[in-house]
Amino acid sequence: MKRKQEKTVFFLKCYKCYIVKNIVSSVVKNAVSNPVIFDDWYCGYIEIQKGHKFFEKNFEELINCHGGITYNNLADNIRTIGFDCNHFGDKIKVQDFVYTKNEIEHILVQLGESPLLEKIKIIKKF
Distance of CA 8 to the CA centre of its chain: 11
Average pLDDT, the chain: 82
> CA-CA distance, 94 to 96, in Å (whole number)?
6
> CA-CA distance, 77 to 112, in Å (whole number)?
20
Give 74's Cβ-side CA count (13 Å radius).
7
- CA distance readout (Å), 60 to 54, 72, 92: 12, 8, 24
pLDDT (average), residues 4-9:
90
Overall number of domains in the chain: 1
Supply the range of the domain harboring residue 98: 4-125
CB 86: neighbour CB atoms within 10 A?
Answer: 18
pLDDT greater at residue 85 or residue 25: 85
> CA-CA distance, 102 to 108, in Å (whole number)?
10
pLDDT greater at residue 114 or residue 30: 114
